[in-house]
């Protein structure tokens, strides 16, 4: 049975995809204008019956048609949720009802523009719209949606996707970065934020009771552009990369980045509930990274694995700064799989490349291993180049111990959104489960949910189940999978 909140669209034809001169609004990047519920989805292949839980993906979906030079990061947040229940699968989607979207709905038009335009001058408190469109995590019975520029997060009902309001945790949080880190073992949520004004970074912990447990300011000399953080069982790792906002562009009300190749990367390793005085600073080679794979403790060392940008040289020994800045500004993809080791006894950093062959990002792990040593990670694979239209044509399973991998792609025009790892009921190993993802299938001109068996090398065999959706789901950003066991803890 399919239940629709609004009328169902006719079958999509070859020429029905939106076409636009702006890549971020073209094809399956274009927004949709409906909130739907589809139940008991049909299956191609065999849908596994040995797992249950919730896969949710966030992404940009402009509520009002943009009349500016639109950037893919500008769209209002929209959640797409897939519920798995031992063989039965359903789907629903809803906009994140942010305060900014509510203000626009009251006015009946868009009031903010985006990254390529000047900031809104009459709202110094929110010159760029907090769309809450970047990431989604589950904590203490609620979904949290977050924004890449660090803004107030929003709480969402995981079953209905109704926005419950802002999540300020009794006033403890007025902004938060896109990537907080929930710990399934303790129920805590570790968060950080960053700002153009002092304090330039803060870090804190929210308890499983949704009460603030800890918060400190991180001493920085000026504003930087961190995107993620890492946690282990006892420590948190915060990032100070030599990528910073361009001060001239900021003064002109625009957004631009500058990389400083003569400065090191710095990492603050602090006990989870530690004071600012307990921070241990470690330096490493100049780099910039968006996303962490995982971190853990290994004897005297704190280990962090992530996917930094690949740095090229303009001449021997000199980083090609302009190339990196263009790569970031044009949303191109060029990454390594990398490891840093911070020795708490000696204060030294060791670092190494795990893989420099594949170009992969959007790393996902089995959530039960967050902050604990893991062997397997799952990434989206990219082709190089492109301009504001990155392609996500495949999935990879990495062995972090050896650097080996297996990969799958149905073809270069397929688009695999960030997947989620769904553990089997009563799993026997770290990789005993499934990878689930929303996928754009260009051959059939349809969006579908794909399910891959992750055990051993089975990912390379392709999806064990495909579930076509009655209408398309636009390409998006980050996702999370919440196991039924975790959901049941907060009923």
Distance CA 332, CA 176 (A): 25
8 Å CB contact between 73 and 45: no
Task: For residue 7, tell me if it sits in a domain.
Answer: no
Task: For residue 282, tell me if it sits in a domain.
Answer: yes
- Residue 22 has a pLDDT of 84
Task: For residue 124, tell me if it sits in a domain.
Answer: yes
Number of structural domains in the chain: 1
Q: Length of the chain, please?
A: 491
Task: For residue 107, tell me if it sits in a domain.
Answer: yes
The 10s digit of each residue's pLDDT in 80-125 is 999 999 999 999 999 999 999 999 999 999 999 998 898 899 999 9
- Start-to-end CA distance of the chain, whole Å, equals 26
Q: Do β-strands 465-468 and 44-45 pair in parallel, antiparallel, or remain unpaired?
A: antiparallel
8 Å CB contact between 45 and 52: no
Highest mean pLDDT among 2-11, 219-228, 249-258, 377-386: 219-228
- Residue 490 has a pLDDT of 78
Q: Return the SS3 of 368.
A: helix
pLDDT class for 7, splitting at 50, 70, 90?
Answer: very low
Task: Mention every residue, 6+ apart, whose C-beta is less than 8 A from residue 387.
Answer: 23, 330, 331, 332
What tokens were used for 279? 């921070």
Q: Do β-strands 52-60 and 44-45 pair in parallel, antiparallel, or remain unpaired?
A: unpaired
Q: Which of 397, 230, 224 is nearest to 306 (CA)?
A: 230
Domain that holds residue 437: 14-488
371: left (phi over 0), alpha (psi -120 to 50) or beta: left
Composition of the chain by helix, strand, coil, percent to 5: 10, 40, 50
> Cα 161–162–168 angle (5° rounding)?
105
Distance CA 364, CA 57 (A): 13
Q: Is the pLDDT of residue 14 over 70?
A: no
CA 77 to each of CA 59, 107, 229, 315, 438: distance values in angstroms, whole numbers, following the listed order:
5, 19, 22, 42, 16
Q: Which of 380, 339, 342, 375 is nearest to 358 (CA)?
A: 380
Task: For residue 471, tell me if it sits in a domain.
Answer: yes
Q: Is the pLDDT of residue 1 over 50?
A: no
Mean pLDDT score, 363-387: 93
CATH number of the structural domain spanning residue 242 = 2.120.10.30
Task: For residue 431, tell me if it sits in a domain.
Answer: yes
Q: Is the pLDDT of residue 18 over 80?
A: no
Alpha helices in 259-346 (DSSP H): 321-329
Task: For residue 259, tell me if it sits in a domain.
Answer: yes
- Residue 77 has a pLDDT of 98
Q: Do β-strands 77-85 and 243-245 pair in parallel, antiparallel, or remain unpaired?
A: unpaired
The 10s digit of each residue's pLDDT in 442-470 is 999 999 999 999 999 999 999 999 999 99
Distance CA 473, CA 381 (A): 20
- Residue 255 has a pLDDT of 73
Mean pLDDT score, 175-196: 94
- Number of helices (H) and strands (E) in the chain: give both, helices first: 4, 35
8 Å CB contact between 167 and 135: no
Q: Which of 56, 37, 88, 75 is nearest to 157 (CA)?
A: 56
- Residue 444 has a pLDDT of 94
Task: For residue 92, tell me if it sits in a domain.
Answer: yes
Q: Is the pLDDT of residue 351 over 80?
A: yes
- Residue 15 has a pLDDT of 46
Mean pLDDT score, 320-327: 92
């Amino acid at each position: 049975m399919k239940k629709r909140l609004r009328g169902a669209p006719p079958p999509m034809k070859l020429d029905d995809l939106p076409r636009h001169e702006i890549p971020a609004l073209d094809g399956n990047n274009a927004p949709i204008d409906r909130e739907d519920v589809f139940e008991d989805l049909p299956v191609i292949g065999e849908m596994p019956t040995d797992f249950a839980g919730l896969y949710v993906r966030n992404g940009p979906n402009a509520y009002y048609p943009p009349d500016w030079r639109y950037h893919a990061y500008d769209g209002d947040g929209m959640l797409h949720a897939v519920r798995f229940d031992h063989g039965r699968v359903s789907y629903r989607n809803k906009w994140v009802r942010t305060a900014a979207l509510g203000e626009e709905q009251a006015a009946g038009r868009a009031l903010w523009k985006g990254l390529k335009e000047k900031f809104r001058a009459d709202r110094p408190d929110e010159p760029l719209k907090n769309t809450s469109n970047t990431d989604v995590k589950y904590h203490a019975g609620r979904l949290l949606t977050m924004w890449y520029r660090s803004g107030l997060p929003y709480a969402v009902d995981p079953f209905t996707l109704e926005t419950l309001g802002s999540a300020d945790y009794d006033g403890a949080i007025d902004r938060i970065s896109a990537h907080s880190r929930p710990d399934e073992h303790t129920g805590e949520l570790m968060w950080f934020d960053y700002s153009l004004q002092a304090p330039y970074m803060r870090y804190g912990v929210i308890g499983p009771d949704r009460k603030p447990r800890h918060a400190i300011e991180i001493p920085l000399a000026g504003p930087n552009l961190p995107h993620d953080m890492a946690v282990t069982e006892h420590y948190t790792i915060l990032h100070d990369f030599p990528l910073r906002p361009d001060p001239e562009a900021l003064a002109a009300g625009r957004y631009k980045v500058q990389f400083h190749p003569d400065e090191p990367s710095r990492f603050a390793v602090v006990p989870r509930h530690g004071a600012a005085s307990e921070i241990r600073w470690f330096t490493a080679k100049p780099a910039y990274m968006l996303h962490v794979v995982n971190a853990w403790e290994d004897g005297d060392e704190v280990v962090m694995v992530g996917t930094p940008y690949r740095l090229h040289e303009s001449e021997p020994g000199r980083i090609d700064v302009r190339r990196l800045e263009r790569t970031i500004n044009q949303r191109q993809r060029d990454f390594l799989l990398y490891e840093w080791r911070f020795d708490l006894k000696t204060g030294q950093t060791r670092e190494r490349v795990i893989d420099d062959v594949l170009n992969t990002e959007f790393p996902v792990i089995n959530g039960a291993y967050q902050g604990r040593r893991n062997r397997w990670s799952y990434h989206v694979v990219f082709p190089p180049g492109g301009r504001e239209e990155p392609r996500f044509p495949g999935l990879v399973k990495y062995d972090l111990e050896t650097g080996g991998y297996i990969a799958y792609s149905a073809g270069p025009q397929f688009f695999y959104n960030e997947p989620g790892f769904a553990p089997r009921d009563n799993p026997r190993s770290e990789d005993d489960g499934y990878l689930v993802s929303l996928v754009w299938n260009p051959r059939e001109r349809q969006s579908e949910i794909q399910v891959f068996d992750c055990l051993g090398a089975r990912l390379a065999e392709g999806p064990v189940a495909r579930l076509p959706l009655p209408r398309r789901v636009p390409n998006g950003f980050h996702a999370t999978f919440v196991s039924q066991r975790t959901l049941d803890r907060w009923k």
